Amino acid sequence: MNTFGRIFSLSIFGESHGQGLGVIVDGCPPGIKLVTDDFLADLARRNPIEPGTTPRKEKDIPELVSGIFNDHTTGAPITILFRNEDVQSAEYNKYADMPRPGHADFVASKKYKGFNDYRGGGMFSGRLTLPLIAAGVIAKKFIEKINIHAKLISAGGSENIEDAIRQAEVEQDSIGGVVECIAENIPVGLGEPFFDGIESLLSHLIFSIPGVKAVEFGAGVSSASMKGSEFNDVYISTDGKTKTNNAGGVSGRLTNGNELVIRVTFRPPSSIGKSQKTLNFATGKEDILEVKGRHDVCFARRTPVIVEAVVAITLADLFLINN
């Protein structure tokens, strides 16, 4: 489905190399000041950064098509459109016969019976995170008391991010990374158990970001090797603040008033500069795939603002449900 959320809901549309892409945000309360400039800082944080990201250059100016009047939200659905301009599609024709290992080319062509727009990865492109960021800007506006900050804490398994990316570039290979996101000043009780607990909803939306392979809260995976006496977060004040935060701000699938701590693991991109052996589906024989397009060596470095956006969207919806 391309729609998410119960009250603050968003529908994503578009492809990487089609005319454009965008988002329709419904359920946004009226009277929130919203102008084009509000979007620019967060959108710029997703732009390619040297080294390690694609040379594709798009202006990414949001066109505010509906739901805003006199610089304020009206309460009607907000439509935001981005045009695709810097498009070079020829490279992608060969992936019909030789789908890129690790990318969506093969599964998309099977699922959509060959009618999918495969140019630039179509709807599976990382470009579809642009509308997510736009929706995140709106969400951040009306949960403005909650501070959300994400950053890339490692790439290719190393905390020396620049060096790791440069090395991957030299090797004509690609690397993944881990983004840590912290949200502060969250009210107690956001989340709707049984099935829509805070971790479930956050994970649902985080896993919609292309290339996510793992999500952890608080001590996460390492909690399996901790004793209860180490893991338990001891209360230090009657508002629920705890001495440690191994639970990552979540108890019983509800926010517990401590910082929400989320770590998101991104895989290395499928498209790599070095040639790869793969199957040629037309001949049924092994073949060599050369990926020539414009690609990220480490797209994880463009994702902190995307993670912030999906966290804001999830919290905004839960905030409205709670109120």
Ligand X SMILES: Cc1cc2nc3c(=O)[nH]c(=O)nc-3n(C[C@H](O)[C@H](O)[C@H](O)COP(=O)(O)O)c2cc1C
Instruction: Specify whether the CB–CB gap between 153 and 172 falls below 8 A.
Output: no
**Least distance in angstroms from the C-beta of 12 to ligand X:** 13
**Least distance in angstroms from the C-beta of 182 to ligand X:** 20
With binding defined as CB under 6 A, does residue 56 bind ligand X? Answer: no
With binding defined as CB under 6 A, does residue 209 bind ligand X? Answer: yes
Binding mask 214-253 for ligand X (x = CB under 6 A): ----------------------------------------
With binding defined as CB under 6 A, does residue 203 bind ligand X? Answer: no
With binding defined as CB under 6 A, does residue 129 bind ligand X? Answer: yes
Residue whose beta carbon is closest to ligand X:
126
**Least distance in angstroms from the C-beta of 306 to ligand X:** 6
Subset of residues 16 to 35 that bind ligand X, contact rule: CB under 6 A: none
With binding defined as CB under 6 A, does residue 136 bind ligand X? Answer: no
**Least distance in angstroms from the C-beta of 260 to ligand X:** 21
Query: Toward ligand X, which CB reaches closer, 119 or 295?
Result: 295
**Least distance in angstroms from the C-beta of 125 to ligand X:** 6
With binding defined as CB under 6 A, does residue 103 bind ligand X? Answer: yes
With binding defined as CB under 6 A, does residue 104 bind ligand X? Answer: yes
Judged by CB under 6 A, which stretch of 77-85, 138-146, 299-307, 310-318 contacts ligand X?
A: 299-307
Distances (CA, A) of 253 to 229, 231, 256: 21, 17, 9
With binding defined as CB under 6 A, does residue 125 bind ligand X? Answer: yes
With binding defined as CB under 6 A, does residue 126 bind ligand X? Answer: yes
**Least distance in angstroms from the C-beta of 27 to ligand X:** 25
With binding defined as CB under 6 A, does residue 258 bind ligand X? Answer: no
**Least distance in angstroms from the C-beta of 149 to ligand X:** 18
With binding defined as CB under 6 A, does residue 270 bind ligand X? Answer: yes
| 3-state SS string for the chain | CCEECCCCEEEEEECCCCCEEEEEEECCCCCCECCCHHHHHHHHHCCCCCCCCCCCCCCCCCEEEECEECCEECCCCEEEEEECCCCCCHHHHHHHCCCCCCCCHHHHHHHCCCCCCCHHHHHHCHHHHHHHHHHHHHHHHHCCCCEEEEEEEEECCECCHHHHHHHHHHCCCCCCEEEEEEEECCCCCCCECCCECHHHHHHHHHCCCCCEEEEEECCHHHHHHCCHHHHCCCECCCCCCECCCCCCCEECCEECCCCEEEEEEECCCCCCCCCEEEEECCCCEEEEECCCCCCCCCHHHHCHHHHHHHHHHHHHHHHHHHC
Query: Toward ligand X, which CB reaches closer, 143 or 310?
Result: 310
Find the distance separating the first CA and the last CA of the chain, reported in whole Å. Answer: 26
Residue of 99, 55, 123 whose CA lies nearest to 291: 99
**Least distance in angstroms from the C-beta of 56 to ligand X:** 9
Q: What are the residues binding ligand X (CB under 6 A)?
A: 54, 103-104, 121, 124-126, 129, 209-211, 267, 269-271, 295-296, 299, 302-303
